[in-house]
Amino acid sequence: MKPTRWIVAISLPAIFACTPPPAPSIPVSMPTSTAATPDASTKHPLLAEWTGPYAGVPPWDQVENTSAFPAAFDEAIALWLAEIDAIADDPSAATFDNTLGALERSGKPLDRVANLFFTLTGSRNTPAVQKLSGEIRPKLSKADDKVNFNKKLFERVAAVHAARATLDAQQKRLVEKSYEDFVRRGANLSSEKQARMGEINVRLAKLFTDFGNRVQADEDTWVVLGKGDLGGLSKAQIGVYEAAAKKRKLEGHAVINTRSAVDPFLTFSSNRALREKVWRAFVNRGDNGNDNDTNAIIAEILPLRAERAKLLGFPSHAHWRMSDTMAKEPSRAIELMDKVWPVALKRVSEEVADMQKLAEKEGAKFSIQPWDYRFFMEKVRKQRFALDQSELKAYFELNNMVQASYYMAERLYGYGFKEITGTVPTFHPDQRVFEVVRKADGSHVGLLYRDDFARQYKRSGAWMSSYRRQHKLDGGSRPIVSNNNNFAKGAAGEPVLISLDDARTLFHEFGHALHYLSMNVTYPSLSETPRDFVEFPSQVHENWVLTEEVLDNYARHYKTKQRMPKALIDKVLKARTFNQGFATVEYLSAALVDMKLHTDPVGKIDADAFEKAALKELGMPKEIVLRHRLPQFNHLFTSDAYSAGYYSYLWSDVMAADAWMAFEEAKDPWHPEISKKFIQIILSTGDAIDRNEAFRTFRGRDPKIEALMKNRGFQ
């Protein structure tokens, strides 16, 4: 009924950063209604109301005993289903408050325990947690279907929907969205079709868990480097690989099979044979014919999705999945991607020609291959712009960039950040906690948890999680959010230096956090926005990384503390659109393959063969591979959230580029009236008003693609 609340993100270059949630759909935390079972009846401590300051905080100090979760979930599910039965069996006529309002208030204990557990599946996904996830997710799927298929409950929702004309705007919006969601999840199906759909959902829940666990297992591997294998690497990078080896009790240095470790190696290592070895290990995750191979899982997921879509009356999984998005149907997303694809391909051919020319000048006897792209791209960048990434990273120290993001939030929205680490529980010593306040009066806004470093059993990439949502129902609730990254720790005592792309990712995830911290909706379900909108607020905030004030105040050399020289800043600005062909094709090819995969009405495919055929049809350059090959495409196969939805980053970026243009037109990235409109119309309204309408209100028109094309240097 209520969509998943985890907004998860993987760090990508430039603007593409988010990935799907690891958790199933569960109810949103709300105060208890008269129809609901009181919290006092809960027996398990993991279901209890959160206590402590700030209206309660997550009890991370109580999650060490993971074996306690199954019993907690069993009790929480029983309590939620009892609440649902009370709503459905209410003898009084259906009204907004006793039906939709009661649903919004239901499921608090389940919401709390699920928040705790599914945070662990992303951040501390130990073998024990992995095993439990495989048991718990099918149970949640069954419970969700019991609610969605509850005939008496749906009749009450339908009755309120039929009489919605008398409701206020937010109530009407909630009723319409809830009714459509019930239908989309099978409420109108016959009992026989519901039974089959339930079987499909339970099986998919298990397959999603297995897929993610197998990819994680392949990422927890490495390539060991000897003393003679470090050519081209900086001192800081060598320190990172040395620390990774020591942590795993290995001799020498280790490149762990995650993007945060692999991409820098491919960019700077002068050992071509090792670059190929590291690259092959990375792109073959999930595709090695061993116990971690995911091809059989994909082959089972796709026909099940296609069958479910057919049961629901949709031509394909993509049509079903996109029915509640801004795009509404696959053709609109494909139309947008088709406008960008040929232009990006042309740019790649130019980039490859530049790299090949340089490689041959240096005596190379080979044509550029995928494991060469980043290496020679960096050489071309250095030659063309005299811009050395190693020199640049010296000015992007992690803590400074965190403070820079807080400065952005203060200038734009009046937020202040006070560190309170040590005063509330955390699930790992690396985690830091900040209270968010309004600087004008010191009033409490919410809490921000930070978990910035890579470690074993933490999923790769970067993401934002919501521990508690904002709402104003029955006294309301203040938000608690979490930013999660996978920056590599260096040697003890060494600063953590990040790349410009890493800094953009940090601002991107913080943009998600600002979105959820700024919500101002009455009903918690209205804090959820369509998948192809949700990246918009995060993407637009990346633009402030290279503003003059941020660079002057926070891009300080980690040793000298001096500001970044103007000459270096000028080089960075001149190189802003460099390599956008690669970045766009790497991403967009994956989005196009995703859409082609999920518009297939049957779904019976061999993943490897399908991938090869689809890329050949697209005219994929041989020098580039998919950002995520199908056997490791967590976006698509760890939940339904981003399936037929990877196009969302491009769709959202059209809006983000156009919104940033508003600040550019005003010649002020901190323009007070524009930032006020942005928070009031875009950030705070959730999905209380249609997102297309919200953008038109902000910009006075629909978004135009021209700003995106300009930002990427395509026109």
- Could you say which of 237, 263, 283 is where a domain stops? 283
* Integer CA distances (angstroms), 522 to 56, 476, 525, 698, in order: 20, 8, 9, 21
Q: What is the number of domains present in the chain?
A: 2
pLDDT at 63 over 90: yes
Q: Is 257 inside any structural domain?
A: yes
Q: Is 67 inside any structural domain?
A: no
Rounded CA-CA distance 244/242 in Å is: 5
- Could you say which of 253, 283, 313 is where a domain stops? 283
pLDDT at 11 over 80: no
Q: Is 541 inside any structural domain?
A: yes
User: Are 278 and 405 part of one and the same domain?
Assistant: no
Phi, psi at 446, each rounded to 5°: 175, -170
Helix (H) or strand (E) holding 295: helix 295-311
What angle in degrees, to the nearest 10, is found between the helix axes of 370-385 and 330-361?
70
Rounded CA-CA distance 595/534 in Å is: 19
pLDDT at 526 over 60: yes
Place of tokens 């050489």: 379
Q: Is 611 inside any structural domain?
A: no
pLDDT digits (tens, 9 = 90+) for 237-263: 999 999 999 999 999 999 999 998 999
Query: For position 60, what pLDDT does the model report?
Result: 97
Place of tokens 């762990």: 256
Domain that holds residue 450: 398-513+536-574
Sorting pLDDT into bands at 50, 70 and 90, what band is 655?
very high
pLDDT digits (tens, 9 = 90+) for 279-291: 999 999 999 999 9
Cβ 15 vs Cβ 504: under 8 Å? yes
Rounded CA-CA distance 169/342 in Å is: 43
Query: For position 41, what pLDDT does the model report?
Result: 56
Query: For position 42, what pLDDT does the model report?
Result: 61
Rounded CA-CA distance 650/331 in Å is: 14
- The 10 Å Cβ neighbour count of residue 268 is 19
Active-site residue identified among 509, 542, 611, 623: 509
pLDDT digits (tens, 9 = 90+) for 27-51: 333 333 333 334 545 678 999 999 9
DSSP string, 419-445: E-TTSS--SSTT-EEEEEEETTT--EE
* Integer CA distances (angstroms), 392 to 280, 509, 545, 569, in order: 28, 22, 14, 9
pLDDT digits (tens, 9 = 90+) for 106-117: 999 999 999 999
**Of the candidate ranges 135-144, 338-347, 486-495, the one whose mean pLDDT is the lowest:** 486-495
Q: Is 232 inside any structural domain?
A: yes
Rounded CA-CA distance 479/468 in Å is: 5
CATH of the domain at 493: 1.10.1370.40
Query: For position 376, what pLDDT does the model report?
Result: 98
Sorting pLDDT into bands at 50, 70 and 90, what band is 440?
very high
Residue 9, both tokens:
């993100």
Q: Coil, strand or helix: which one is 471?
A: strand
* Closest alpha carbon to 261 in 205, 211, 318, 221: 221
pLDDT at 236 over 90: no
What radius of gyration do the chain's Cα atoms show?
Answer: 25
Please, what is the average pLDDT of the chain?
93
Query: For position 558, what pLDDT does the model report?
Result: 94
User: Are 278 and 413 part of one and the same domain?
Assistant: no
Q: Is 279 inside any structural domain?
A: yes
Contacts of 306 (CB under 8 A, 6+ apart): 316, 317, 600, 601, 602, 603
% of residues, the chain, pLDDT over 90: 91
Would you say how long the chain is, in residues? 715
- pLDDT (mean) for 671-698: 98
- The 10 Å Cβ neighbour count of residue 683 is 22
Q: Is 499 inside any structural domain?
A: yes
Cβ 30 vs Cβ 97: under 8 Å? no
- The 10 Å Cβ neighbour count of residue 357 is 11
User: Are 271 and 413 part of one and the same domain?
Assistant: no
Rounded CA-CA distance 605/595 in Å is: 14
User: Are 416 and 544 part of one and the same domain?
Assistant: yes
Cβ 421 vs Cβ 432: under 8 Å? yes
Q: Is 264 inside any structural domain?
A: yes
Phi, psi at 424, each rounded to 5°: -135, 155
pLDDT digits (tens, 9 = 90+) for 149-198: 999 999 999 999 999 999 999 999 999 999 999 999 999 999 999 999 99
Q: Is 75 a catalytic residue?
A: no
Cβ 317 vs Cβ 643: under 8 Å? yes
pLDDT digits (tens, 9 = 90+) for 298-356: 999 999 999 999 999 999 999 999 999 999 999 999 999 999 999 999 999 999 999 99
- Could you say which of 283, 314, 332 is where a domain stops? 283
Query: For position 715, what pLDDT does the model report?
Result: 85
What is the maximal distance between C-alpha atoms in the chain? 84
pLDDT at 1 over 80: no
